[in-house]
Structure 1
Amino acid sequence: MPKINASTVAEHRAQQREALIGAAIDILVNEGATAVTPTAVGARAGLARSSVYQYFNSSAALLATVTEEAFRRSNQALTNAMAAANGPLERVEAFFRESLRLGAEGAHRPAAALMSAGLHPACQERLMELHLEQVEPFRAAVREIGVPDPALTADLIAGMLHTALAAADRGTPLDTVTERTLALVRRCLTTGGQHEPRGDGR
């Protein structure tokens, strides 16, 4: 049995599993989905391949878990940000602001790598389900605002988010990208381009 680095065996196993997932995500982002194998992941995490198989019995199992983790970590941050907002417009802004912050940290890269990885159809389907679950609170806020054709409007505004993430990836300062993007979003979602009154007086 490997040396225990936690107060209980359960905590130790949780730490090892987390290390393996982190290693798999790192390999996925930097080397692609085909490089995510038990041997490579174990080596990156500092564990023997036999130890990896205690948690994941195949490359497919690793990728399936990474697919879930690529969204779980971001979803919690997005949920917390939107819960602190007042009103649908502020929830949309919170979704964009937090998405851009997460993007600057590279949180979108695992999902982007998975999208272009040519995964098994079942994994691709789950990836799309997770994406739709992630953006539904944003789409619900757009519907609540009452804009015409809210589904199309949400799709078009989501395109701005993708463009903003790309701009941040290219090195445009995050604050600049965020404030300019939010200004455009407000114009799209308020009547006649006028800003909706805000609780903070801005």
Structure 2
Amino acid sequence: MPKIDAPTIIEHRANQERALLDAARDLLLSGGPQAVTPSAVGAATGLARSSVYKYFHSGEEILTRIVSDAFAEWGAQLRDTVERAETPAGRIDAYVRTTLALAASGTHRIAVLGGSLPRDEGSREQLTRAQHEVTAPLRAALADHGNPDPDLTATLIDGALARAMDLLDAGRSANEIIPATVAFVGRAAGLAQHRAAPRTAKR
């Protein structure tokens, strides 16, 4: 019988699962998605492959879980920052700045490395829901700002953010990329016009 290193079996299983997921994250960051296999994850935690299968059915299931968890952590940090802004325009600005600041710190690497792989339908749906939750604060801010199609605009903004992240990954300075992207999104979303005081017509 395996040694139980927690007060209860439930806590033991939770600890083992967390250790497996932590090892899988390290493998993903160091070796890419192909490095995340039940054998490799088990070896990294001192468990046999057969023991890993008691928690996860496949390497793909492990990848889906750690990417979903990464999106959840990312979304929680975004919501915490965005909700402090007092206006819709300020919330959109905060969403862009926080997203790129997290990207510059490397927080997005798990989602980027594991989130673009072809998967079975159930895994794709799970990751799509996770991604949708991350952009929820942006969609809400756009709607409150009066944008006629918040879903489409959020998708386009996320496209710009993805490209900005690529530039950060390529070594461009965050001090250059973040302000430029904030300004670009502000123009695209009409934030400058919204903030500007109305001009008196010349006679």
> If the length of structure 1 is used for normalisation, what is the TM-score?
0.80
Unaligned 5+ segments in structure 1 are 198-202
Contact 2:168 2:174 in 1 (8 A): yes
Contact 1:32 1:117 in 2 (8 A): no
**Hey, what does 1:71 align to over in structure 2?**
71
**Hey, what does 2:200 align to over in structure 1?**
none
Displacement, 1:106?
A: 2.5
> Cα distance 1:16–1:176, how it changes in 2: closer, same or farther (>3 A)?
farther
Q: SS of 1:103's equivalent?
A: helix
Contact 2:164 2:181 in 1 (8 A): yes
Mapping of 1:49-198 within 5 angstroms?
A: 49-190=49-190, 193-194=192-193, 196=195
Question: Counterpart of 1:155 in structure 2: which amino acid?
Answer: T
The 10-residue stretch of structure 1 (165-174 or 42-51) with the greater mean CA deviation from structure 2: 42-51
Question: Counterpart of 1:102 in structure 2: which amino acid?
Answer: L
Contact 2:81 2:94 in 1 (8 A): yes
- 2:38 matches 1:43: no
Contact 2:135 2:154 in 1 (8 A): no
Displacement, 1:13?
A: 4.5
The 10-residue stretch of structure 1 (105-114 or 170-179) with the greater mean CA deviation from structure 2: 105-114
Contact 1:186 1:195 in 2 (8 A): no
Displacement, 1:169?
A: 0.8
Question: Counterpart of 2:176 in structure 1: which amino acid?
Answer: T
Contact 1:23 1:41 in 2 (8 A): yes
Question: Counterpart of 1:135 in structure 2: which amino acid?
Answer: T
> Cα distance 1:169–1:34, how it changes in 2: closer, same or farther (>3 A)?
closer
How many residues are aligned here? 194
Asked which structure has the greater CA Rg, the reply is: 2
Displacement, 1:80?
A: 0.8
Contact 2:72 2:134 in 1 (8 A): no
Note the alpha carbon deviations across 1:85-126, whole angstroms, 9 max, x for none: 111111112211221122123232222233432211221122
The 10-residue stretch of structure 1 (157-166 or 141-150) with the greater mean CA deviation from structure 2: 141-150
Displacement, 1:194?
A: 4.1
Contact 1:145 1:189 in 2 (8 A): no
> Cα distance 1:149–1:58, how it changes in 2: closer, same or farther (>3 A)?
closer
The 10-residue stretch of structure 1 (99-108 or 8-17) with the greater mean CA deviation from structure 2: 8-17
Question: Counterpart of 2:195 in structure 1: which amino acid?
Answer: E
Displacement, 1:137?
A: 1.9
> Cα distance 1:14–1:98, how it changes in 2: closer, same or farther (>3 A)?
farther
Note the alpha carbon deviations across 1:11-65, whole angstroms, 9 max, x for none: 5554432221122123234434343222101222344435434432432432332
Question: Counterpart of 1:196 in structure 2: which amino acid?
Answer: R
Q: Partners of 1:157 and 1:36 in 2: how far apart? A: 31
Question: Counterpart of 1:27 in structure 2: which amino acid?
Answer: L
**Hey, what does 2:31 align to over in structure 1?**
31
> Cα distance 1:118–1:190, how it changes in 2: closer, same or farther (>3 A)?
closer
> If the length of structure 2 is used for normalisation, what is the TM-score?
0.79
Question: Counterpart of 1:19 in structure 2: which amino acid?
Answer: A
Percentage identity across paired residues of the two chains: 39
